[in-house]
C-alpha cells in the first residue's frame, strides 16, 4: 500500500480496541477511544481557528499524552506537526516558530512567561493552546487545551482538502550544524521506514493495508507497551512512540520532568512495559548502576527490548544490563533525522555487540572516493577515503546512482520553492530521498555548482519517481584494520 497517513491508521486502531490504553502518565490513563476523540476535538478547533492545508502546528511540551494528541490532531486535519526543543530560549523559540511558519502552538503552562514574551513577534500564530500543569494559570490570551479536547465532536475530523500520504511531519534538528533545520518527512515515507505497522525485532511483519493493521489487534489481549525515557521532542523518542502506536500499543510517559532511574524502573514494573527507549550511555549507565546496587528491587520480566539511538552505548554496559534482563534484546540504532535505519546492532544474552559496531542497513552503502562516478556507487575496501551514504542518492554534481528517479511536475515546483527557502526535504522510506537545503554551499548536487534544481534534473539520467533529490555527504569512515571502518569520532560500520 502507498499513501499511508497516520491518522487513518490510528482511527482504525481506535475503532478496533477503543478500551485499550493508548497513553499513560502516572495515574492518568487515556484509552484509544478517548485519545481518538480528544484528537478529533483539537483538530476541529484548529480548523475553526482558520488553519489551512499543511499549516504547521508546533508542540512545545514536555513528555505527556498531549504531545502525541497534538500530533495526531494535526494528522487528522491535514496539518503538519512540528517538534520544539523545550530547552530553547527566547531567540531560539522565535526563530524556530518563524522558520516553521507555525500557525498554532500547544505549550505547557510552565512556558507561559517565555511564550508571553515571544508571541508578539510571531504574528502568523493564530492560536496558542495552553496545557495546564499546575505551575501557573492558563493566561487570558491563550486557549485552554483541556477545555477544547473535553468537548465531544462528530468524528472523524478531516479538513475539506482531505488527507494524503504526502502530508508532512516536520522534525527539527537541534542546530548542532548551525541554526535548527526542519526535516520534512512525508507520512507515507515515515510510516514505511518505521516498519509499515510491523516491528522486525519483535518478529512482526509489515502490514499491506490499514485493514491488516486492525485485523492483527484483539480487544481481549493486552497491547504492546513502550516507555520513552528520552524526550518526545527528539526523533528517537517520537518515532519509537509512533511505532508502538502503529502496533495498537500504549505509550508511557514518566511523571517527572527530570530523569530519575528509580522512577523509570518503577514505571516499567507498574505498567508491565515491553520496550524502553533510551539515548545511549547517558541513560544506560545510571540504569545499570541502580540495578547493580539493588538487583532485586524491580520486576523487569516484561521487558523484551531496550532501544537506543543517537549516542554511544558501550559493550560493557550492554553485557551488564543483560545480566538483569536476560530475556531482552538490546537494539542499538545508527541513523539520523534525515535517514532512519542506516545501521543497527542487536545484543542478547547470547552475546553483546562490540561498542559502536553496526551492521549496515539494506539501504545504506559505503563508497570509495568523492564524488562517486555516474556509473554508481562502489563498495569500500581497505585504504583511502570512505564515506557512508544512504543508497540510491543523487551523487556529486548531477551524477546519479542507477536507481534514483528524477524530478518532474509538481515535485519539481516544490523543489524550486524549497531551494529558495529554509528547509530540508525528507528522506524516503529507503533513506534515499534527501532534498533541497538552503545552505547551497554544503554537500551534494548544489555544492559549489550554482546549478538550479532544473539543471540538476536535466543531468540526472534515470527514470520514474517524483520527489526532490539531493546528495548528502556523510562523515568519513576511517580504516580500523581488518576490514572494519570507524565513523570519525563516533561509530563503526561493517
User: What does the H/E/C string look like for 6-57?
Assistant: HHHHHHHHHHHCCCCEEEEECCEEEEHHHHHHHHHHHHHHHHHCCCCCCCEE
- The alpha helices in 421-490, defined as continuous H runs, are 453-459
The answer to whether 374 and 399 are in contact (CB under 8 A) is yes
Q: For residue 355, what pLDDT is reported? A: 65
In whole angstroms, how far apart are CA 50 and each of 56, 159, 179, 247? Answer: 12, 11, 29, 33
Stretch (H or E) spanning 357: strand 357-360
Alpha carbons 62 and 451: distance in angstroms, whole number: 42
Q: Are strands 127-131 and 102-108 parallel, antiparallel or unpaired?
A: parallel
Q: Which run of H or of E encompasses 74?
A: helix 65-77
Q: Which three cell numbers stand for residue 211?
A: 485493514
Q: Are 476 and 386 in contact (CB under 8 A)?
A: yes
Cα–Cα distance between 240 and 246 in angstroms, integer? 10
* Domains of the chain, start order: 6-11+27-187 (3.40.50.980), 210-360 (3.40.50.980), 365-459 (no CATH)
Instruction: Kindly give the residue spans of alpha helices, DSSP state H, lying in 90-172.
Output: 90-99, 112-118, 145-149
Query: Tell me, what's the pLDDT at 359?
Result: 65
In angstroms, rounded to a whole number, what is the distance separating the alpha carbons of residues 121 and 140?
Answer: 18
Q: Extract long-range pairs of 342-347: CB within 8 Å, 24+ residues apart.
A: 342/388, 342/390, 342/431, 343/491, 343/493, 346/201, 347/315, 347/318, 347/319, 347/322
- Whether 129 and 112 have beta carbons less than 8 Å apart is answered as no
Comparing C-alpha atoms, which of 270, 259, 265 is closest to residue 296?
Answer: 265
- Cell numbers found for residue 73: 490532531
> Residue 400: in which H helix or E strand, if any?
strand 399-400
pLDDT (0 to 100) of residue 393: 36
Q: Which residues contact 259 (CB under 8 A, 6 or more apart)?
A: 229, 283, 286
Residue 492 parent element (H or E): strand 492-493
pLDDT at 399: 25
| CB within 8 Å of 1: residues ≥ 6 apart | 207, 208, 209, 210
Res 267: pLDDT = 98
Q: How far, in Å, CA of 491 to CA of 332, rounded?
A: 11
> Whole-angstrom distance between the N-terminal and C-terminal Cα of the chain?
32
Per-residue confidence (pLDDT) for residue 173, from 0 to 100: 85
Q: How many CB atoms lie within 10 A of CB 458?
A: 13
**The pLDDT of residue 407:** 36
Separation in Å, CA 354 to CA 23, 229, 374:
35, 24, 35
- Please, is 416 exposed, middle or buried when counting C-beta atoms within 10 Å of its C-beta (0-12, 13-18, 19+)? middle
Q: What is the DSSP letter of 177?
A: T
Specify the pLDDT at position 492: 29
| pLDDT 10s digits, 402-450 | 232 333 344 444 434 443 333 333 333 233 222 323 232 233 322 222 3
Those residues of the chain that have pLDDT short of 70 are 1, 175-177, 341, 352-494
List CB contacts of 218: < 8 A, sequence separation 6 or more: 17
Position 158 scores a pLDDT of 97
Amino acid at each position: 500500500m502507498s499513501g499511508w497517513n497516520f491518522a487513518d491508521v490510528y482511527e482504525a486502531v481506535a475503532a478496533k480496541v477503543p478500551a485499550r490504553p493508548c497513553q499513560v502518565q502516572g495515574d492518568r490513563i487515556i484509552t484509544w477511544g478517548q485519545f481518538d476523540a480528544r484528537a478529533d476535538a483539537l483538530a476541529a478547533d484548529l480548523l475553526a481557528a482558520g488553519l489551512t492545508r499543511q499549516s504547521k502546528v508546533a508542540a512545545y511540551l514536555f513528555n505527556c499524552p498531549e504531545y502525541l494528541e497534538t500530533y495526531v490532531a494535526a494528522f487528522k486535519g491535514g496539518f503538519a506537526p512540528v517538534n520544539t526543543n523545550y530547552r530553547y530560549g527566547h531567540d531560539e523559540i522565535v526563530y524556530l516558530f518563524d522558520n516553521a511558519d507555525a500557525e498554532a502552538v500547544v505549550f505547557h503552562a510552565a512556558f507561559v512567561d517565555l511564550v508571553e514574551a515571544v508571541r508578539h513577534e510571531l504574528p502568523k500564530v493564530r492560536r496558542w493552546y495552553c496545557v495546564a500543569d499546575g505551575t501557573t494559570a492558563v493566561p487570558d490570551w491563550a486557549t485552554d487545551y483541556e477545555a477544547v479536547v473535553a468537548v465531544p465532536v462528530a468524528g472523524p475530523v478531516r479538513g475539506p482538502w482531505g488527507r494524503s500520504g504526502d502530508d508532512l511531519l516536520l522534525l527539527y534538528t537541534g542546530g548542532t550544524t548551525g541554526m535548527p533545520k526542519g526535516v520534512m518527512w512525508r507520512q507515507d515515507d515515515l510510516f514505511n521506514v518505521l516498519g509499515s505497522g510491523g516491528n522486525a525485532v519483535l518478529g512482526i511483519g509489515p502490514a499491506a493495508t490499514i485493514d491488516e493493521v486492525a485485523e492483527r489487534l484483539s480487544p481481549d489481549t493486552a497491547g504492546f507497551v513502550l516507555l520513552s525515557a528520552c524526550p518526545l521532542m527528539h526523533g528517537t523518542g517520537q518515532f519509537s512512540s509512533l511505532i508502538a502506536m502503529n502496533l495498537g500499543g500504549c505509550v508511557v510517559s514518566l511523571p517527572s520532568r527530570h530523569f530519575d532511574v528509580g522512577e523509570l524502573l518503577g514505571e516499567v514494573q507498574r505498567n508491565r512495559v515491553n520496550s524502553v527507549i533510551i539515548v545511549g550511555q547517558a541513560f544506560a549507565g545510571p540504569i545499570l548502576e541502580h540495578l547493580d546496587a539493588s538487583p532485586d528491587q524491580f520486576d523487569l520480566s516484561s521487558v523484551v527490548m531496550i532501544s537506543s539511538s543517537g549516542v554511544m552505548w558501550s559493550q560493557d554496559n550492554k553485557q551488564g544490563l543483560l545480566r538483569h534482563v536476560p530475556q531482552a534484546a538490546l537494539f542499538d540504532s545508527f541513523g539520523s533525522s534525515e535517514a532512519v535505519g542506516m545501521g543497527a546492532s542487536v545484543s542478547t544474552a547470547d552475546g553483546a555487540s562490540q561498542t559502536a559496531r553496526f551492521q549496515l542497513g539494506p539501504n545504506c552503502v559505503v563508497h570509495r572516493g568523492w564524488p562517486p562516478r555516474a556509473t554508481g556507487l562502489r563498495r569500500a575496501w581497505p585504504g583511502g577515503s570512505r564515506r557512508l551514504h544512504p543508497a540510491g542518492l543523487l551523487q556529486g554534481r548531477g551524477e546519479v546512482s542507477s536507481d534514483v528517479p528524477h524530478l518532474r511536475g509538481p515535485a519539481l515546483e516544490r523543489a524550486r520553492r524549497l531551494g529558495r527557502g529554509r528547509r530540508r526535504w525528507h528522506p524516503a522510506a529507503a533513506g534515499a530521498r534527501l532534498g533541497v537545503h538552503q545552505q547551497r554551499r554544503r554537500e551534494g548536487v548544489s555544492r559549489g555548482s550554482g546549478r538550479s534544481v532544473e539543471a540538476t534534473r536535466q543531468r540526472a539520467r534515470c527514470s520514474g519517481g517524483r520527489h526532490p533529490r539531493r546528495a548528502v555527504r556523510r562523515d568519513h569512515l576511517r580504516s580500523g584494520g581488518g576490514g572494519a571502518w570507524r565513523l570519525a569520532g563516533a561509530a563503526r560500520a561493517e
